[in-house]
Amino acid sequence: MKITAPAKVNIFLKITGHKDGYHTLLSRFMQVSDLYDTIRFVPCECETFTIEGCEGVPRESNTIYKAWKTLNEATGDLDLLEFFYHHKVVVEKRIPSQAGLGGGSSDAAAFMRLAREVCDLRITTERLAEIGSRIGADIPFFVHDYPSANVSGFGEIVEPFDEEPLPLEIFTPPVACDTTQVYRIFKERFLATIDPRSFRGWERVPSVELLERVTDPETLNDLYPAALLACPKLQEYARPDWFFSGSGSSFFRMRK
């Protein structure tokens, strides 16, 4: 009983507005299939929901625990509750944290997908994605498990994009970017300057063409300038021809 949880990059990420305390966006998410965490359900008599492999993260803050709790509340399925009295969750982490690669969200989504299978939950992928959206904005993308997709709204609108994932090289510097702080700085410093006309039609352009056509990482990712202000040390690791994923801190490029 195991499943892989792949990383993602944002080929582009454009903020489209701010509503009800959250930013809306338009972004191309792409899976990075050769960078992934592995999640296993291992037989174990447990007095409470147990996660191993995520040292340093309190259980209540762990996205997998949040996914289990939210899935329980949404379904009321007693089999789901009973199963984790007899199994623990073991995570093999490879995706760096606070790196813009979606590791925590991917783990939560993979947990939900595997739990649906082993507990025979009668729930659609769309419903599973909606439940996941209550935990984190990136989770619906990972629940749908599309190799590439356009993601919009608050992250809940996921539309598959017909292309093969690009061979990508990832570089994650030893800098942790706080997503909340990056978005706060964006709202304070950059939100008033967004211009949806500047990226009209990007959702229809293949990712390889976008990366060849738009070579400025700040143009492709609206959060990059805010991340540089939140984490000034990022500037020391910026390289020509590398792009920035999510709220950071990882950079990526097509493998040469």
Among all residues, which ones are annotated catalytic? 8, 138
Q: Which residues pair with 22 in a beta bridge?
A: 19
Per the structure block, which two tokens stand in for 58?
């309190």
Q: Helix (H, G, I), strand (E, B), or coil: what is residue 246?
A: coil
User: What's the chain's Rg over C-alpha atoms?
Assistant: 18
Q: Measured between alpha carbons, how far is residue 51 from residues 39, 42, 81, 233 in Å?
A: 10, 10, 15, 33
Q: Which residues pair with 151 in a beta bridge?
A: 27, 158
- Give the span between the Cα atoms of 226 and 31, in whole angstroms: 24
- Give the span between the Cα atoms of 166 and 147, in whole angstroms: 10
